[in-house]
Structure 1
Amino acid sequence: MADSHPNSLRPGGPSPSTTPRLEQSQQVQSPPLDTSMQGQGQPMMYGAYQEQPQGGPSQGQYGGGRFPSSMYPPNFNIETPGGTQGNNPFQDDNQRQRGSTMGQNYPIPAGDQQMGSPPAMPAAQPLFAQHSGPGAGAGPSGSRPVSRQTPHNPPMNPSILQPSFQPQPATRPGTAGGSSKSPFTTPVTSPPRGRPSQILLINPTSTTALTNVMLASLRPILPPQLEVVGYTAHYPAPTATETIVDMALSTELVLRDLAKYATNNGETVQNFDAMLIASFTNHPLVSALRESYDVPVIGIMEGSLYVSRMLGARFGILATTNRHKIQQDDAIHALGLGHFYVGSEAVHMSPLEILAASSSSQNGQMPEEASKRIAHAARTLVQKGADTIIVGSESMCSLEVIRAAKDAIREEDGRRTVNVVDCVEAGVMCLNGLVGMGVPTSKKGVYKGEREGRRARGQNWL
């Protein structure tokens, strides 16, 4: 019996749900021009940039959100800091401050009065860094320091050489009174949230190693306030979704299992804000979960196709087998993206073979035979006109496969002009955007729901 133990993933560092987080809004003022010595044979003095950090409110504790914990089934506990997991299958086994720079003195040498040189200037005051470092008494110590560099040869005041010279106000087109106006506004930051967003990554196969590989590839790129929890289908789910039968069996098993953890109002599973189906096929589980729940649900194929369409004019896909190529062709034309599709190239390896090759890699390098197949398929897609290549299988999302594809399409001068898109990463980022927008699945039409109709027919077992 295959291990079906799921995993969870948070970005690096402590969980955002338990660590207070300060949001800072920084404004940089333009250096004021000191004109108090103009016309008196003295060079103009420039002020220092000043940074004024403002500490934001502290982050709230984990809790709250769209689905309160009171809606959970009584025998399952949502993950809490320092708490116990109980029988929760969505378990997590794995759980910077910048130093400030000090200011420098910029002395200005005084002239020699007796030798006919310009009059002596008063000693310049030292310029200290205007940021909140340790002991500065303003804001946290993690504020960004401001550059204190000055020109190597500061410009000389023309009035020193030409006493009759009359300086003009420093004006620029579109400004009035000599004051510079920036076209950029001050930064806008998000308000504090009660808890981080949570995405359920559903692996519809019973291969736990595949779930671990996907979570490992996501860890370096997860943004703050986002958590990804892995779910692996239990036995007798298929070990891979290569055929129509595999997809049908996995859909039925996952639907029944997730229904055990649905909230009382039927909006979602546990407290998750979105669900991602980790199968690079037109998997029926995507539409089935959209019917059953309100939160956004997408597949990794959908997410990567739309991301690639935004990054380039034409995209191609790395497929696993010839059967997979045919499935991808049908799905892409059904989505209406055939005009932007140059085709797929198979590496002629099954998903489990690719997964095994990634696991046996040494020093980040795959076995030579697997690396050659991936490189050949990637170069063929570029020759067909693809400016974006999708790694078209959840088993290919490992860092070793992505690196082999990128190295294959690198230019002779070292540049890489073709993007390589990880399908799992693209799916997570698309869902994170939908969660931030606060939009649920539309419940009119195809995804209206199926509970009432089933129960009217007496089918209450799901």
Structure 2
Amino acid sequence: MSDTHPSSLRPGGPSPSNTPRPESQTIPHSENMQGRQQFSAYGANQEQQPGQQMPGDNYGRRIPQSMYGGQGPDFNVETPGGSAGNNAFVDGPRSRSSTIGQSYPITVEQSPPAMPSMQPLFAQHSGPGLQSMAGASSGSRPASQHGQPGRSQAMNPSVLQPNFQPGSNTRPGTASGAQSASKSPFTTPITSPPRSRPSQILLINPTSNVALTNTMLGSLRPILPPQLEVVGYTAHYPAPTATETTVDQALSTELVLRDLAKYATNNGETVQNFDALLVASFSQHPLIYALRESYDVPVIGILEGSLYVSRMLGARFGIIATTNRHKVQTDDAVHMSGLEHYYAGCESVHMSPMEILASASVNQSGALPEEVTKRVAHAARILVSRGADTLIMGSESMSSLEVIRAAKDAIREEDGRRTVNVVDCVEAGVMCLNALVGMGVPTSKKGVYRGERDGRRARGQNWL
């Protein structure tokens, strides 16, 4: 058999040579590795040269890093403080770094090396002093310091290092960090930028009753926020004095639409530059839907505005209506709005809107007649007994402060507390519109409320 090895040896495999191993033999390192490292039985990158002999052995495996004495990756016996005795495989100066391009001699021992003694394992802990002791990196996962059940507790470093001195705890709330102020979870307040003009809402009274318009504006004056103006509008004669029936609602819709069209802007988006339109009728008035088709600004009625507000304030709401007809109309409106699950019912005071409005203005002292107070109080108590925690004054004629006070006093607790809310329908409608104006969202024109003007004019109907 040849005295030399073939040039291709499997990395880490046994030598096919039958040549007896000498006591000690030096092998120069090859300078051409072609970008690939091959590890021999003793961890050196080697390649046989012609005329050289490779000792056969049965220890062809990769050498673990721990067999180099537990030193760091930059350890070098040639540097000051290093010692060749720390490496069981090297008699002369040698470095653990890459040997590509080096040509120093490597001594191969005859017998397998002795395993070094096992090094103690240190816990991976991010506490103070433990990183310097065990050489752990700063990226180790921190252990829980709160002592909660089910979480791993931090190892006491004094067990591993008797002279360990823990650092001071400067967390807020501790003895050492008590003087440091805790960080507030609240940010600094923000304010809205100044507006060029206040928001303007047009309150539309579809009846010809001017006293009703003044009553609603008087109740709104104390609660209007800054940068908000409400302008009242009263329908002209021959508009009905009340919208109690379907005929009243149909007649008032046609008259108001014709009148407001005179004040529409050139682009047809709104009426006289108003930001929103409020229909002051506690019913599903057809004027609401007609205005949404004609204009782009938000349009709502006081019925739906009060329903949404009451739904957000309590779990069940009840409505105080005027007449029995109005009670049936209100029940149907709540059912169509999809809020019947949160509806505690409706109770009427058996008085028309004109009678309630007249009774509130007759007494100069500002107090309601005793008969009106009793009826309002009786309806409020019945609704509360049914589970209502929010009451809605179900008519624009009940928007006066006297009627609202009568309902609040009736449901007051014996200790003076008032646990049930009373919602003014006109006030709720104004506040809902103010929120929509602030959001800057118009009426959607993709579906049902798409503009009707072009289609009507295409049919030759230019009456509006």
TM-score band by shorter chain is 0.5 to 0.7
Structure 1: 4+ residue segments shifted above 6 A: 167-170
Shift of 1:180: 2.3
* CA distance in 2 between partners of 1:404 and 1:170 (Å): 56
* CA distance in 1 between partners of 2:436 and 2:170 (Å): 50
Distance 1:209 1:202, change over 3 A: same
* CA distance in 2 between partners of 1:393 and 1:238 (Å): 16
Q: Which has the higher contact order (CA 8 A, sep 6+)?
A: 1
Give 1:356's aligned residue: 358
Work out whether residues 238 and 250 of structure 1, in 8 Å CA contact, stay in contact via their aligned partners in 2.
yes
* CA distance in 1 between partners of 2:194 and 2:225 (Å): 15
Give 2:173's aligned residue: 172
Give 2:292's aligned residue: 290
- Provide the secondary structure at the position in 2 that maps to 1:342: strand
- Provide the secondary structure at the position in 2 that maps to 1:433: helix
Shift of 1:399: 0.2
* CA distance in 2 between partners of 1:176 and 1:257 (Å): 71
* CA distance in 2 between partners of 1:232 and 1:168 (Å): 72
What residue identity is the alignment partner of 2:253?
T
Larger radius of gyration: 2
What residue identity is the alignment partner of 1:245?
V
* CA distance in 2 between partners of 1:180 and 1:307 (Å): 38
* CA distance in 2 between partners of 1:450 and 1:437 (Å): 25
Shift of 1:433: 0.1
* CA distance in 2 between partners of 1:400 and 1:458 (Å): 51
Give 2:414's aligned residue: 412
Deviation track 1:142-198 (CA, whole Å, cap 9, x = no partner) reads xxxxxxxxxxxxxxxxxxxxxxxxx9978338x898242100000010001100000
Q: CA RMSD in A?
A: 1.6
- Provide the secondary structure at the position in 2 that maps to 1:224: coil
Paired residues for 1:48-447 under 5 Å? 171-172=172-173, 178-447=180-449
What residue identity is the alignment partner of 1:445?
G
Percent identity over paired residues: 81
Work out whether residues 388 and 419 of structure 1, in 8 Å CA contact, stay in contact via their aligned partners in 2.
yes
* 2:445 maps to 1:459: no
Distance 1:176 1:197, change over 3 A: farther
Work out whether residues 204 and 279 of structure 1, in 8 Å CA contact, stay in contact via their aligned partners in 2.
yes
Deviation track 1:334-353 (CA, whole Å, cap 9, x = no partner) reads 01011111111000000000
Deviation track 1:287-340 (CA, whole Å, cap 9, x = no partner) reads 000000000000000000000000000000000000000000111100101111
Deviation track 1:37-94 (CA, whole Å, cap 9, x = no partner) reads xxxxxxxxxxxxxxxxxxxxxxxxxxxxxxxxxxxxxxxxxxxxxxxxxxxxxxxxxx
TM-score with structure 1 setting the length: 0.62
What residue identity is the alignment partner of 1:258?
L
- Provide the secondary structure at the position in 2 that maps to 1:282: coil
TM-score with structure 2 setting the length: 0.62
- Provide the secondary structure at the position in 2 that maps to 1:181: coil
* CA distance in 2 between partners of 1:170 and 1:340 (Å): 49
- Provide the secondary structure at the position in 2 that maps to 1:378: helix
- Provide the secondary structure at the position in 1 that maps to 2:318: strand
* CA distance in 1 between partners of 2:460 and 2:418 (Å): 59
Shift of 1:223: 0.2
Unpaired stretches in structure 2, ≥5 consecutive residues: 1-167
* CA distance in 1 between partners of 2:171 and 2:368 (Å): 61
Work out whether residues 204 and 254 of structure 1, in 8 Å CA contact, stay in contact via their aligned partners in 2.
yes
Deviation track 1:210-237 (CA, whole Å, cap 9, x = no partner) reads 0000000000000000000000000000
Q: How many residues align?
A: 295
- Provide the secondary structure at the position in 1 that maps to 2:195: coil
* CA distance in 2 between partners of 1:364 and 1:288 (Å): 38
Unpaired stretches in structure 1, ≥5 consecutive residues: 1-166
Work out whether residues 361 and 400 of structure 1, in 8 Å CA contact, stay in contact via their aligned partners in 2.
no
Give 1:80's aligned residue: none
* CA distance in 2 between partners of 1:267 and 1:402 (Å): 36
* CA distance in 2 between partners of 1:324 and 1:304 (Å): 16
- Provide the secondary structure at the position in 1 that maps to 2:320: strand
Shift of 1:361: 3.2
Shift of 1:403: 0.2
Distance 1:406 1:362, change over 3 A: farther
Farther-moved stretch of structure 1 (253-262 vs 362-371): 362-371
* CA distance in 2 between partners of 1:375 and 1:185 (Å): 45
Give 1:71's aligned residue: none
Work out whether residues 274 and 435 of structure 1, in 8 Å CA contact, stay in contact via their aligned partners in 2.
yes
* CA distance in 1 between partners of 2:345 and 2:337 (Å): 15
* CA distance in 1 between partners of 2:269 and 2:418 (Å): 44
* CA distance in 1 between partners of 2:277 and 2:330 (Å): 22
* CA distance in 2 between partners of 1:360 and 1:177 (Å): 67
- Provide the secondary structure at the position in 2 that maps to 1:344: strand
What residue identity is the alignment partner of 2:197?
R
* CA distance in 2 between partners of 1:430 and 1:298 (Å): 9
